[in-house]
A and B are shown apart, each in its own frame.
Chain A
Amino acid sequence: MTNLLTSSPRLDAVTAVATGGRLWRRLLRHGGGRVGVALAFILALAALIGPWLTTDPDVPDYTNKLQPPSGGHLLGTDLAGRDLLARTFAGARMSLGAALLVMAIVTIVGLVVGVVAGSAGGVIDTVLTRVMDVLLGIPGLVLTLAIVGVLGPSFFNLVFAMAVTGWAGLAKVARAHTRGAGQRPDVIAARMAGAGPIRIAFGHVLPGVVSLLVVAATLRLGDTVVALAGLSFLGLGAQPPTAEWGRMLSDARETLSVAPFQIIGPGVALMLTVLASTLIADALRDLDEPENRR
């Protein structure tokens, strides 16, 4: 039975898929997975080289306010005359870069805490599990909001807040995998053949846990980007004049009726990010179906 306060079914779905090394190849063979990976690639490209292809996103040009899309400004300009395409690319760099940073931190912290809890057992395990359970019992966005309240609104603080609150689910997965390892038949066989704990840990347990967490974290990338954008939208993340998708949407609100094109850039970008993330997640879940295993 899953106790709601302590389980994370989204991550459970990933459990079996991350075994076996041919994951990426199988992903690319899946129809939806291919589209998802292609989108992710495009977004990464936009983030990496987009800003070099366009003008400075932060320089205002008040003579050119609220211009609809045209040859010179493919997505139009905002209230301060800044090119929206450039700002969208710059936002890509910020959002995707920040999301990757958050996921990297969260994965490492989750890995360490989970593996320690799972292998140490006893008091250490109990204490760490309680901490995980408490964190999972607080709605994520709410806690992030609170931490930003403590530290003050800024993009850096937002990233920090998300990193600090997001590791609990991953730690639970890592812990479960590590704890269960002792009962796995292949581990028992290894132990009987004479393998010591270190050899078992590095040969059998850790590769599986790392792969599991990396996949799980990747799946949450989309959610992370949206969360970052959402809180920036409220003014609690990126501060003006920084180009960030959520911020851009918030800026567009006042003049939305006369210049609706302002939401195209950040809106489409956000939607593509979530679409890519969802398609990849769906593909991974499909690959997990029994007919693809034995």
Chain B
Amino acid sequence: MSRRPLTIENLSVTYRNGFRAITELSLTIDHEERLAVVGASGSGKTTLVRAIMGLLPRTAVVTGRILVDNTDLTTISRRERRLLNGRTIGYVSQDPFSAFDPLRRVRHHIHEAWSAHGAAAPPDGINAGLARMGIPDPARRSRQWPHQWSGGMLQRATTLAATVHDPVLTLADEPTSALDTELADDALDLLRRTCSALLLVTHDLALAGRHTDRIAVFHDGKIVEHAGSECVLEHPRHEITRALIRAARPLPRPARTDRTSAEVILRAENITKSYSTRHGVVTAVHPTSLEIRAGEVIGVVGPSGSGKSTLLRLLAGMERPDSGEIVVDGRPMWGAASRTNLPRKGFAMPVFQDPVGSLDPRWPLWRSLTEPLVLAGVRLSKQQRREHASEALASLDMSEIDADRLPGTLSVGQCQRVAVLRGLIAGPALIAADEPTASLDVEVATAVSNLLRAAADAGAVVLVVSHDEARVRAYADHILTVREGIVAASEAKQ
């Protein structure tokens, strides 16, 4: 009988409130095999990881068997469980930044892999391990604090700590969702090199395809599709799988044929912006000149801290440039006063990354939604405002949401759609969206980007800052790439 790293037979997990997170689940992982578990949030992926780790609340009801290296986890004592964790089962967590105790040095974190079981690290074990992970000067750097390390380095250190005992099975729970794409690939390559059997939980299908052998698609606590990675991605059989693939790879936009007559809405000449921080003066935007035409979606991409948000705020009139000029509709955007000189109220409207914060928590939806209309001069009674809001909600398939509700009772995805509606309702000429889909599920993100595209097709210009370059390229006309305050323009690929 082979000692398989992971065998799950008919596992069911029910929480105290009656919610069945996993139903009759069975799967196996063999040595040197990498399995990706993908699915929408709430599908049971995290519960699975917790069940294997023994991190479920005591009140959860677990039936079925989980065998790791031929030990049945459902029948052993808590003490025996604890001995398995870290030695037989390794764990890599979601966010490398928050995986470290901020009050302890990096070295302490890695050493805990040994000290958790009352042992001491082998002499020079930590330094050698870090060197293998590609960390320069490990002896000195491991004595630093986590906040002094970059995300990529932290990811390597925590992966080292997870694998020092050569665990039979390694669990990686969304290890790359907080990382840039380049770093995410690096991290997963690292995992492939250092782990034997790997269970990778991720929402990123493309990533799973590149780094795993098999993919299991979860939905409502069950596996709906389970096959080799390439097979799943290229010939998906289940509806859910197809939906996930569709949402992850947005269809390219059909070419537009009538672009030549678009008028220039905004012209920026040699605008710059700098900030003084405690480290001196930082130039967020170097002298930049551009033209923005109506009816276009312009994606602004670049690494974090590159100045893309600052550029967006300058173009939208949310901040004043230190030098240079912005001309809108023939008139300068900024006059002598500290307020902008735009052609009309609500000429430019924002969409923010945090949907919850962008709606006043004390205002019912109808008030937030119709406020731009009232400010633009449309005279509406309270009843009319309510009706208008209900219509707007219905237009986005949200008619089940009562216009009297408060934002706090909505989901994040619903809030963002309301926020976008609010931004569009008075027909702005310019929409400035700063990471509008960053906190959203894949399906909602697609809905929002469709909304923005539609707004552009109707004549507005949409500026979108996003770190999800792939998504933006699918619906933008132009791309502005910003690196350290320097802007380079290009056409979006068709």
Contacts and interface: CB of A to CB of B under 8 A. Distances in A.
Does A touch B (CB under 8 Å) in the complex? Answer: yes
Interface of A: 19-22, 184-186, 188-190, 192-195, 203-204, 207-208, 211, 293-294
B362 A294 contact: no
B362 A185 contact: no
Interface string B336-368: 000000000110111010101111111100001
5 contacts: A19-B408, A185-B352, A190-B375, A193-B346, A193-B371
A189 B349 contact: yes
A293 B359 contact: no
B376 A189 contact: no
A193 B411 contact: no
A185 B362 CA distance: 14
B376 A20 contact: no
B349 A193 contact: yes
Given A20-B361, A211-B362, 11 more contacts: A185-B352, A186-B368, A190-B371, A192-B317, A192-B350, A193-B346, A193-B372, A193-B376, A195-B375, A293-B408, A294-B412
Contacts of B346: 192-194
A195 B359 CA distance: 15
Nearest to A190: B371
Given A293-B408, A294-B412, A192 B358 contact: no
A186 B348 contact: no
B426 interface: yes
A186 B357 contact: yes
Contact of A294 (B352, B375, B408): B408
Nearest to A207: B362
Interface of B: 316-318, 345-346, 348-350, 352, 354, 356-363, 368, 371-372, 375-376, 406, 408, 411-412, 419, 422-423, 426
A204 B368 CA distance: 11
Contacts of A186: 357-360, 368
Nearest to B356: A294
A188 B350 contact: yes
A188 to B, nearest CB: 6
B463 to A, nearest CB: 13
Contacts of A22: 406
A22 B368 CA distance: 18
Contacts of B363: 203
A93 B427 CA distance: 59
Nearest to B434: A185
A293 to B, nearest CB: 7
B376 A204 contact: no
Contacts of B352: 185, 189
B16 to A, nearest CB: 14
Contact of B357 (A21, A185, A190): A185
A19 B407 CA distance: 11
A203 B356 CA distance: 18
A152 to B, nearest CB: 45
Contact of B422 (A19, A189, A294): A189
10 interchain residue pairs of minimum CB distance: A194-B345, A185-B358, A194-B375, A193-B372, A19-B361, A185-B352, A186-B360, A193-B346, A185-B357, A193-B375
Contacts of A204: 360
A192 B371 contact: no
B350 A185 contact: yes
Contact of B362 (A19, A192, A293): A19
Given A21-B406, A185-B352, A193 B360 contact: no
